[in-house]
Amino acid sequence: NSYSIAVIPGDGIGPDVMDGALEVLAATEDIFSLSIKYHHYKAGAKHYLATGELWNHDLAQQLRTHDAVLFGAMGDPSVEPGILERGFILAMRQAFEQAVNLRPVKLYPGVATPIAGLTPERCDLVIVRENTEGAYVGQGSTIHANTPNTVAIQESVNTRQGIERVVEYSFKLAMNRRKKLTLCHKKNILIEAGKLWQDVVNSVATRYPEVNVDYVHVDAMCFHLPVAPEKFDVVVTDNLFGDIITDLGAVIQGGLGVAASGNLNLDGSAPSMFEAIHGSAPDIAGKGWANPVGAILSAAMMLAHLGEKAAAQAIEAAAVNVLKDLPALAGPGMGMSTTEIAAVVSSQIRTDF
Ligand code: NAI
Ligand code: MG
């Protein structure tokens, strides 16, 4: 099958890990007879500083012509925080209605986790983060700015339709997994939003009687997730809580360098976007220390999303095999450079499949 993929390497280690993912995809293409055409797009700090361009209509029109978007990372110390993150990444998620941010939390066999005694059997869940609303809508105001009486108001917007689409997706996902769904929120304090989330879960649940549904407050989740991840299968949560608990999930599964994600458009109105969950890591950019496995596994998620399950599984298997030999976080002691890891994963795909 043939596909057209938009590639946005971005900033910092984004281009490094993207190169790794593309090399692995090339190996997969040969073995599984896929034909993938890539179109590279300039975006990120350098492009912004040179042109002033962030997310814009022309770019959106071009990206819409592709089957999916593969994204590196964005953010740079030379650009004021938020400009690229809000002005590009969030803008894309919202414009392309990438309603679901799907983040598997899976401890692969042999991978180093900081949680003592944790085994892969106990850690295999999926976090479904609402990706377009909540506190990330960018609405708010500051009153009496720069005075002793300053008040900053940051709004969180939750719509029934926005919640419904991720909750519906989560139940469907749960039906294909262990039929267990957990709503994670803070409904004892965030009364308005929490009630709407719980109402929607309750009403969608009536159509999925086989799914076992429960509820956990987000603060308690930070305790349960590292200690007893086996309690969870599909966790559905809002944008902010999801952002936070998925980083925790990444730590449990072996570090930011191994965690993958998909930003899914559910109605086919625009492409979905796939990215490692880490950022641009300016502290290690250009050093060759970045672990490309998160980006490689995100490319596998992209192939699975496009219907290429066998190719996706091949990448996952090869990447996991390499992870066994790596410490959880990057550094001079990682033992293998970014390019070496990508090369080993690629050659394993070529020899094993
Ligand atoms: P970060 O994820 O870039 O880095 C956090 C820590 O993890 C750093 O010590 C980094 O060296 C390490 N790390 C990250 N990815 C790694 C990898 N693949 N291999 C080994 N170590 C890795 O988060 P940080 O430092 O908070 O943000 C840096 C920039 O990235 C900021 O501008 C931030 O806004 C942006 N960002 C962008 C995201 C995106 O593009 N979707 C997501 C998160 C942050
Ligand atoms: Mg985050």
Residue 142 pLDDT class (50, 70, 90 cuts)? very high
The per-residue pLDDT for 58 is 96
The interface pTM score, or ipTM, of the predicted complex is 0.97
Taking CB atoms and a 6 Å cutoff, what residues make up the pocket around ligand 1?
Answer: 13, 17, 73-75, 85, 89, 256-257, 275, 278-284, 290-291, 294, 329-330
Helices (H), 154-228: 160-175, 191-205, 218-227
Average pLDDT value over all residues in the chain: 94
DSSP helix, strand, coil percent of the chain (3-state; round to 5) = 45, 20, 35
DSSP 67-116: SEEEEEE---TTS-TTHHIIIIIIHHHHHTT--EEEEEEE--TT---SST
In a 10 Å sphere around its CB, with 0-12 CB exposed, 13-18 middle and 19+ buried, how is residue 172 labelled? middle
The per-residue pLDDT for 324 is 79
Ligand with minimal distance to 8 CA: 1
Ligand with minimal distance to 10 CA: 1
**Mean pLDDT to the nearest integer, 4-28:** 97
Place of tokens 């996902």: 173
Q: What is the percent of the chain where pLDDT is above 70?
A: 97
Rounded to the nearest angstrom, the distance between the alpha carbon of 52 and the centre of ligand 1 is 23
Tell me the CA distances in angstroms from 94 to 2, 52, 171, one per residue in order.
27, 20, 22
Rounded to the nearest angstrom, the distance between the alpha carbon of 115 and the centre of ligand 2 is 21
Mutate to test the pocket of ligand 1, among 278, 284, 291, 339 (most ligand atoms within 8 A of CB): 278
The answer on pLDDT for 275 being more than 70 is yes
**Mean pLDDT to the nearest integer, 180-198:** 98
The answer on pLDDT for 130 being more than 60 is yes
Which CATH topology does 114-252 take? Isopropylmalate Dehydrogenase (3.40.718)
The per-residue pLDDT for 323 is 83
Using DSSP, state whether 282 is helix, strand or coil: coil
Residue 255 pLDDT class (50, 70, 90 cuts)? confident
Distance CA 151, CA 268 (A): 41
- pLDDT, tens digit (0-9, with 9 covering 90-100), for 302-331: 999 999 999 999 999 999 988 877 665 545
Distance CA 275, CA 189 (A): 32
Mutate to test the pocket of ligand 1, among 54, 253, 256 (most ligand atoms within 8 A of CB): 256
Count of positions (residues) in the chain: 353
Task: Report whether 224 contacts 184 (CB < 8 A).
Answer: no
**Mean pLDDT to the nearest integer, 38-64:** 97
Which residues sit opposite 204 in a β-bridge? none
Q: What region does 285 belong to: left with phi over 0, alpha with psi -120 to 50, or beta? A: beta
Distance CA 23, CA 16 (A): 11
Residue 36 pLDDT class (50, 70, 90 cuts)? very high
Assess whether the region 1-98+260-353 and the region 114-252 belong to the same CATH fold: yes
Distance CA 263, CA 106 (A): 18
Which residues sit opposite 73 in a β-bridge? 10
First to last CA, the chain: 18
Secondary element (H or E) of residue 129: strand 124-130
Rounded to the nearest angstrom, the distance between the alpha carbon of 270 and the centre of ligand 1 is 26
Helices (H), the chain: 14-32, 45-51, 57-63, 83-84, 91-95, 160-175, 191-205, 218-227, 239-252, 293-305, 309-323, 338-352
- Specify the CATH class of 1-98+260-353 in words: alpha beta
Least confident piece of the model among 106-115, 124-133, 190-199, 260-269: 106-115
Domain ranges for the chain: 1-98+260-353, 114-252
